[in-house]
Chain A
Amino acid sequence: MFVRPDNWASLTWQQKRELRLNHWIKAEDVKFVSKEAEQGYEARATRLAKAVKMELPDRVPCMLPTGWYPAMYAKVPLKKVMYDPALMKKVWLNFVDDFDSDTFDGTLFFNASVNDAMEAKTMRWPGHGLPDDAHSYQYVEGVYMKADEYDLFMKDPFDFQLRYLLPRTMGVFEPFKDVPSFASYQGLPNRLMAMCQDPRFQKLFKAIKEASKYTEPWNKAAAETTNGARARGFPVFRGGLAVAPFDVFADNLRGTQGIVMDMFRQPDKIHQAMEFVLPQLISGAIAMCDMADCPVVMMPLHKGDDTFMSDKQFEVFYWPTFRRQLLAMVEDGLVPYPVAEGAYNRRLEYISDMPKSAIAWMFDQTNMANAKKTVGRVSCIAGNVPVSIAYTKTAAEMKEFCRKLIETCAPGGGYILTGGATFDMAKPENLRAMMEAANEYGKY
């Protein structure tokens, strides 16, 4: 847990960030397995912190973005680990023992038993809408908030979540769509008791009980895995997660079809709603980073990329609130780490408008030479190793690709070698080749 000193308000953002980064590097809560592991942790975290600040580390940091790969490496079907926290822990730590990287990429997030119990409708996973042997789980985009529900969402978010959103996203919550609002206190106890007699609510309560049974062991295994990886010397480069205000609606609540209708028919509602969620997104990210004692906020970006919208639409709908979100996080000493999925070639000038060394940008298919020349002057850049190369090419080809990338992006500092997307599938020798490339070609 990060605790702010008394003089916090009088510090500059750089000073705040320095305090946070130093806390993260020191990792006083970690019981290291050896002196070597402790030194390794400090060296890795320092390397990353310097890259973020655009200072020169000893070499280019390398993060293996492993996603679900540890299951593939252990030849265990994803479906099996999704239901078995002990196995998940074993498989993930086995990967940590076998591969060098400057970070631990995190555990599997998806707890299938809980999603089973809740009858989750927004996800598909092996055995639930995907074949048993599928090596993925996927989000089902949909219209989970209707066009005329923006005001409801803003007026009473709790009521909206409980009686509108949850019945649409989790099967067991369906009965809530038939009950009146809980806004009035009068008669509430009687109403709650009456609900308990309704068999549909009894089913819901049972499901919640069931889900809680699966949540605890999963969270425990996930924490033990993460702590195990840290104890072995691998820092986690992620304290919190956040999304851009536009994506809250475009991805989660309205879906592509819905948001497009709103862009033409009621653009003002989108703007109002983005203003409404902005402070929550900022305070949420800060709270997560405080809790994890790591200032890095990973931000997967979706609907603002080159193909999803025009420059004008990006200027109007995406960038203004997203920019303020980034600046507010920076102001509290956090390190926003936006993951620009797809291509950001036409966004590079916009996103260069940030304080120097405040942000670390991860790029997927963006031209890195151009990124280095533009946003790379003010921000650390990362990414761009294609998962296609990690999975379909030889180790020599992988290493050569990384060499060229380092040659383009590393000069002067401010580059982290990592994937353009998560390597859910890869060849083990290619992951090792990536690390070799950082060691051989990335020295400063």
Chain B
Amino acid sequence: MSGDFVNLLADLKEEEVLKLTQQRLDSKEDPLKILEDARKGMEIVGKRFAGGEYFLPELVFSGELLAQVTNIVKPHLTGAGVQQKKIGKVVIATVAGDIHDIGLNIVDFMLDVNGFEVTNLGVDVPIEKIVKAVKETGAPVLGLSGFLTPAFDAMKETVEALEKAGLRKNLKIMIGGGQMDDEVRKYAKADAFGKDAMAAVTLTKQWYGVK
């Protein structure tokens, strides 16, 4: 049953997944086990995305399935679950003046299913808020997203503010999205440019020294 559930979720079979979720709850299965299987299913989704089999529609739809499963299971949770052990922290944000979030949320998803604890600050994030989040989380990796040309300067200013706050030395910064490229990376003095969400995962793993 558990194996079926994982594969049905990975194959995005909405009706079957929801039916099976209910069946497992009805048969008094541990709700945490269901959530753990859901996580495994999402991991497969992430792998298929990285492998070029799945694209944005499958990622977004899997997110919807996970939300539905979680909603059904939640009322049955009694104690606090055991937190999945995470590799480490990453802060991500779309820079000030830019409200685009599609790419940002894909990066969030892919980092999460690859074992990172992601602090997603959302869109149009003021520089001070990014500096504060880096300081408070102590995350050694920061991902800056932007779609439009004005984001070039917002990224540059964010990096400068982190330098000024004395946080730059132990921090790796990656940029991505829309019109970002390696020229913008140099201009903003970031450490790396990634062309897609897989690049964000590869870079983060590399910086964390994990395979």
Chain A contact residues, CB within 8 Å of chain B:
124, 129-131, 134-136, 138, 140-141, 256-257, 260-261, 263-265, 307-310, 313, 386-389, 391-393, 420-425
Minimum Cβ distance to chain A for residue B36 (Å): 25
Of all chain B residues, which has the CB nearest A388?
B183
What would 15 A/B residue contacts be, using CB atoms closer than 8 Å? A130-B97, A134-B150, A136-B97, A264-B14, A308-B57, A387-B149, A387-B179, A388-B187, A392-B184, A421-B149, A421-B178, A421-B179, A424-B149, A425-B149, A425-B153
Q: State A391–B179 Cα separation when bound (angstroms).
A: 11
Q: Do residues B57 and A263 form an inter-chain contact, with CB atoms below 8 A? A: yes
The chain B residues found within 8 Å of chain A, CB to CB, are 12, 14, 54-57, 60-61, 64, 96-100, 102, 124, 148-150, 152-153, 178-181, 183-184, 186-187, 196
A374 to B97, CA, bound (A): 38
Complex CA gap A378/B179 in Å reads 28
**Closest-CB distance, B64 to chain A (whole angstroms):** 7
Q: Which residue of A lies closest to B180 (CB)?
A: A388
B55 touches which of A135, A140, A310, A422 (Cβ 8 Å): A310
Beyond A261-B61, A307-B55, A391-B187, 17 additional contacts (C-beta under 8 Å) are A135-B150, A138-B98, A256-B60, A261-B64, A264-B57, A264-B61, A265-B14, A307-B56, A308-B57, A310-B57, A386-B179, A386-B181, A387-B149, A388-B184, A423-B149, A424-B149, A425-B152
List, in ascending order, chain B residues with CB within 8 A of A313's CB: 55, 57
Take A130-B124, A309-B55, A388-B181 as given contacts and tell me if A138 and B196 are in contact as well, using a CB distance cutoff of 8 Å. no
Residue ID in chain B nearest A426 by CB atoms = B149
| Pair B97/A131 contact, Cβ less than 8 Å | yes
Which residues on A sit within 8 Å (CB–CB) of B98? 136, 138
Known contacts A257-B60, A260-B61, A264-B12; A391 and B152 CB within 8 A of each other: yes
Q: Measured between C-beta atoms, what is the minimum distance from B150 to chain A in Å?
A: 5
Instruction: Decide yes or no: A308 and B124 within 8 Å by CB, A138-B148, A260-B60 being known contacts.
Output: no
> A60 to chain B: closest CB distance in Å?
23
List the A side residues contacting B152 at CB < 8 Å: 388, 391-392, 425
Tell which of B14, B150, B183 touches A136, judged by Cβ atoms closer than 8 Å.
B150
Query: Considering only CB atoms, which chain A residue lies closest to B103 in the complex?
Result: A307
Q: Does B99 contact A138, Cβ atoms closer than 8 Å? A: yes
